[in-house]
Structure 1
Amino acid sequence: MPLVEPLPHALEYADRWLAYRRWRLRIPGVQVAVRVGGTLVLDSAHGTADQATGEALSTRHRFRIASHSKSLAALATMRLVEAGRVRLDDEAQQHVPALAGTDAGALLVRELVSHGGGAVRDGDDVAHWHLAADFPDAERLLALARAGVARIPASTEFKYSNVGFGLLSLVVEAVTGSSYADALESLVLAPLGLSATSADLPSDPPADLGPLVTGPLVTGHGALHSEAERATLGSPATGALAAATGAVSTAAELTDLLRTVTDADDRLLEAASRRRMRQQLWSTTGRDGSSAGYGLGLMLREIQGRTWVGHGGAWTGQATRTLVDAERDVVVSVLTNAIDGAAEELAVGVARIVSTALDPVEAPDDEALALARSFEGTFSSIWGRVDVVELGGRLLAIAPTAADPLQAVDVLTPEDADRVRIAAATGMGSGHELAIAERDADGRVARWRGAWHMDAVAAVPGEQRAG
């Protein structure tokens, strides 16, 4: 997809919007990447990698991407399927003799990779998710399998299962004759040339990881639901559940990884396999209440009438989300280092801003576009805050305090160099009225009067006002 002029402008605003949302939600740090047509068009970071030390977050910092690991495991599995080394309808026990005779062994590879096996989510003791015990190793996973993993009959309904993906990793190991980490490296990471992504962290990391690590690891932070301050949380190795939740990556590399399920990217899989991964097998509900679905290692959700695939990740101190528009070859990834980091909300917001630029409502001429953009800026009053920005050919007044930047926006029509007419989003606004811009010596809007009464402020409080 060729990069058109509206896209860089929209990306600049998306990054600014994200920086403000990070500040407003009190998230320590947010890393974001957007890839369009295979080109990394945004790679940015805001805030701190460690709130206690104040270390600035960079685009090189690596995050625990948690359940994104399932998409990586699905990619590895589908490569083995294409090579004829495993079939989606194989029972797990055909490849892992230790599972023979167990309900886990009777589960199909397809059921494991789609959360259709009816298996227990994390086991009967979830202390490892509370940093009170180690994650299960292979021996504990097999013991769980022997005790029985079924909680409902297989292929009955969607039932999310980290244990299921742990069992899938046993199949991958048996088929490849290597550890799951080595299999993921050879099947997925090495072919893409990725150096910051790994299947897991070492269980006993050396004091100096040296050249094996291409970027520092962020510090995870707890939630604010019961405390006034965020606690620092550990980031343990995940043992036999690495395929479910162990992976480490950056936003930039994650957009490259999940781009491999788009129509345009044939580096890893054939077109039929990519379509099969994206096919909705189960219906479910997203954490934000939206209608959602699941395919083979991929979440599905609708944004502005289009289906986006991808995955999210919830880790001890980190929350992450990646969205993929497979048809338009667009990937958005947002990584946060707080357990309540609102990554879903932020990723959807960025995706909506990008979509507005890719599907413009209007196509103004250069003169009209220049006039519209001359009104842009961030403004506030005692009543609220607004971003004035041109997106998709229209001049919009967006409330960055809202979770969805484009849910209810006022459309502004320039009347002349200093006045805009407001088409209010609701009848409660100043519809059909004029807002008057007062400009500074540089021609920037310093304040609004008339139907609005607001003054220019920095895009993020505490920062110098952007030019």
Structure 2
Amino acid sequence: MWRLLSLLTALVLTSPVNAQFGETMQAIEALVDEAMPTSSAPGLAYAVVERGTVQASARGEMLLGSGRAVTADTPFQLGSISKSFTAMAVMQLVEAGEVSLDAGISTYLEEFNGQAGAAITVRELLSHTSGYSTLQGNQSHTDQTGGSDELAARVNRLAELVPAAQRGQRWWYSNANYLILGRLVEVVSGATFADYIESEILEPAGMNSSFVADGEVHETIATGHPPWFTGRRPVADRRTSRVMAPAGGVIASAADVARYLAIMTNGQDDLISAESKALMLQPANVASPFYGLGWFIDVENGDAYHTGLSPGVETIAALSLSEGRGVVVLVNASSGMGFGLTADLLSGIPAIALDDPYVSVGSQLSAKLFFVMLMSLPVFFVAGIVGAWLLRAGLRAKSGVSGHFSLWFPLLTTGTMSWAFLSLVPNLFSVPLNTLSLYQPDMVILLIASSVTGLALAVFRLGVFYLGRNEQIQA
């Protein structure tokens, strides 16, 4: 059966497209012509599927300046689209009678016995209603050894956490949920997560250019390019992350993801039953009105989708549940602050493919001005230090309440700014600063530089004043 399925999904990629499909592809190509230059993305691959007929295309380079062309078969790290694969693996185990969606996770993972999260159900993990917060799922660890047991080690750590909210009460997107589910797949199946996904989903689906992160560097993968001061540079560390595989480590080409989307929209029993597919693609519960099991749900438009973000790579896969359409977009670049925006590619292509409304993000002038301000702050503060020294006589002449206020108030303001830059901003992103630096390295450098130079200016002015006053008193 699996060989037949692989053959059929391969055949759809060579089927002739109808006239309407051709018009859709022409509209997408026109959008790519307009949006790709402003995105500064080195490469792009996308594919559209409609009732089993697939068309794929690609532009640009795998690595900036390399001349190695991106093709429809070039693998990209899918990021959080991988969660849908993990969810499908769990549904396979449910259909095999080995897992129950409403059983507590401690039923399968003994490390949760006696822990605060023991009663969290498999369904709650799949739907992000477990109570684990986004920040809990993004916390940095030092357990990425590359060994086959590092997912088990990470989940052991997660088992010791107290969820930030009561289970089943609120929706909170968290990688923690899918790391735990990945470990569930390992324990119940007896195989590593990578081996299970590759043997039970990727190979049967004919996804021959795809695999699961194994902690190694693969030259065949499109290299990610994070923003770098209005431009781009390739990621320094190109190793794949084995421990994050269940939440973001499936690596696949646009053509292969199209095969996967064709399976998800065919209404047939194959990798999983049609009933299980329908369950995955509908709101999971009252606390999760816009997320199913591994998929976001757009109830208004009747679509399901999932985005993905890896260092320097952005992706999206989307399905029209009523029209039997699907689309995937893979870009080896991530958006900067107002510069190099990828949103028109990642939102515009799916909108055209699924016949949904879309409005361009525009020039994002306010974001650009904020980023330029960030670039200017360290220069301004360093200039202030130089100026404070050159004008030290006037600084030392300050006296009275107003004079001392003008000396100490900058320490309060720059201290508040530093707190906002180094603590508040990471909390807004729900990610530690060192992890944020993998995705927005230029912004993190500017946040740190502004904080350090701002505090340095305030302290330097105080030093010039008080040291100078002491010298005058001694004289």
Indicate the TM-score class for this superposition, using the shorter chain for normalisation: 0.5 to 0.7
Task: Give CA-to-partner distance per residue, 1:245-302, whole Å, 9 cap, x none.
Answer: 11100111112213333253432222221111111136899xxxxxx82110001226
Whether 2:290 is the aligned partner of 1:293: answer yes
Query: Is the contact between residue 298 and residue 304 of structure 2 (CA under 8 Å) also seen in structure 1?
Result: yes
Query: Structure 1: how far apart are the matches of 2:137 and 2:316?
Result: 27
Whether 2:209 is the aligned partner of 1:196: answer yes
Q: 1:14-33 alignment to 2 at 5 Å?
A: 14-33=28-47
Which of the numbers 145, 149, 168 marks the counterpart of 1:155?
168
Whether 2:222 is the aligned partner of 1:218: answer yes
Query: Is the contact between residue 123 and residue 293 of structure 2 (CA under 8 Å) also seen in structure 1?
Result: yes
Task: Give CA-to-partner distance per residue, 1:36-74, whole Å, 9 cap, x none.
Answer: 11121x211112211143433222221110101100001
Query: Structure 2: how far apart are the matches of 1:283 and 1:30?
Result: 37
Question: What TM-score, normalized to structure 1?
Answer: 0.66
**Could you say if the C-alpha distance between residues 343 and 72 of structure 1 is closer, same or farther in structure 2, counting changes exceeding 3 Å?**
farther
Instruction: Give, in angstroms, the shift of residue 242 of structure 1.
Output: 1.0
Equivalent position of 2:386 in the other structure: none
SS for the counterpart of 2:231 is coil
Query: Is the contact between residue 104 and residue 145 of structure 1 (CA under 8 Å) also seen in structure 2?
Result: no
Query: Structure 2: how far apart are the matches of 1:261 and 1:328?
Result: 12
Query: Structure 2: how far apart are the matches of 1:221 and 1:344?
Result: 15
Whether 2:312 is the aligned partner of 1:317: answer yes
Equivalent position of 1:335 in the other structure: 330
**Could you say if the C-alpha distance between residues 53 and 228 of structure 1 is closer, same or farther in structure 2, counting changes exceeding 3 Å?**
same
Residue type matched to 1:203 in 2? G
Which of the numbers 227, 230, 239 marks the counterpart of 1:228?
230
SS for the counterpart of 1:87 is coil
Whether 2:279 is the aligned partner of 1:243: answer no
SS for the counterpart of 1:293 is coil
Query: Structure 1: how far apart are the matches of 2:196 and 2:286?
Result: 30
Q: 1:24-423 alignment to 2 at 5 Å?
A: 24-40=38-54, 42-121=55-134, 123=136, 126-127=139-140, 137-200=150-213, 202-205=214-217, 216-224=220-228, 227-233=229-235, 234-262=237-265, 264-281=267-284, 293-301=290-298, 306-340=301-335, 345-356=344-355
Query: Structure 2: how far apart are the matches of 1:242 and 1:112?
Result: 16
Instruction: Give, in angstroms, the shift of residue 10 of structure 1.
Output: 2.5
SS for the counterpart of 2:71 is coil
Equivalent position of 1:382 in the other structure: none
Query: Structure 2: how far apart are the matches of 1:319 and 1:222?
Result: 10
Residue type matched to 1:335 in 2? L
Residue type matched to 2:278 in 1? R
CA RMSD of aligned residues (A): 3.2
Instruction: Give, in angstroms, the shift of residue 335 of structure 1.
Output: 0.5
Unaligned runs of 5+ in 2: 1-11, 364-475
Tell me: higher relative CO, structure 1 or 2? Use CA pairs within 8 A at least 6 residues apart.
Answer: 2
Query: Structure 1: how far apart are the matches of 2:99 and 2:28?
Result: 42
Residue type matched to 2:93 in 1? L
Equivalent position of 1:436 in the other structure: none
**Could you say if the C-alpha distance between residues 240 and 12 of structure 1 is closer, same or farther in structure 2, counting changes exceeding 3 Å?**
same
Residue type matched to 1:280 in 2? P
Residue type matched to 1:229 in 2? G
**Could you say if the C-alpha distance between residues 70 and 99 of structure 1 is closer, same or farther in structure 2, counting changes exceeding 3 Å?**
same
Instruction: Give, in angstroms, the shift of residue 149 of structure 1.
Output: 4.2
Task: Give CA-to-partner distance per residue, 1:169-188, whole Å, 9 cap, x none.
Answer: 11111111111111112321
**Could you say if the C-alpha distance between residues 284 and 44 of structure 1 is closer, same or farther in structure 2, counting changes exceeding 3 Å?**
farther
Unaligned runs of 5+ in 1: 210-214, 286-291, 360-397, 404-467
Equivalent position of 2:403 in the other structure: none
Equivalent position of 1:5 in the other structure: 19
Query: Structure 1: how far apart are the matches of 2:350 and 2:156?
Result: 43
**Could you say if the C-alpha distance between residues 400 and 164 of structure 1 is closer, same or farther in structure 2, counting changes exceeding 3 Å?**
closer
Query: Is the contact between residue 88 and residue 108 of structure 1 (CA under 8 Å) also seen in structure 2?
Result: yes
Per residue, is there more helix in 1 or in 2? 2
Residue type matched to 1:249 in 2? A
Query: Is the contact between residue 320 and residue 354 of structure 2 (CA under 8 Å) also seen in structure 1?
Result: no
Question: What TM-score, normalized to structure 2?
Answer: 0.65
Residue type matched to 1:57 in 2? V
Query: Structure 2: how far apart are the matches of 1:11 and 1:125?
Result: 37
SS for the counterpart of 1:232 is coil
**Could you say if the C-alpha distance between residues 148 and 132 of structure 1 is closer, same or farther in structure 2, counting changes exceeding 3 Å?**
closer
**Could you say if the C-alpha distance between residues 14 and 308 of structure 1 is closer, same or farther in structure 2, counting changes exceeding 3 Å?**
same
**Could you say if the C-alpha distance between residues 283 and 339 of structure 1 is closer, same or farther in structure 2, counting changes exceeding 3 Å?**
farther
Per residue, is there more strand in 1 or in 2? 1
How many residues get paired?
Answer: 342
Query: Is the contact between residue 284 and residue 294 of structure 1 (CA under 8 Å) also seen in structure 2?
Result: no
Instruction: Give, in angstroms, the shift of residue 342 of structure 1.
Output: 5.6
**Could you say if the C-alpha distance between residues 173 and 273 of structure 1 is closer, same or farther in structure 2, counting changes exceeding 3 Å?**
same
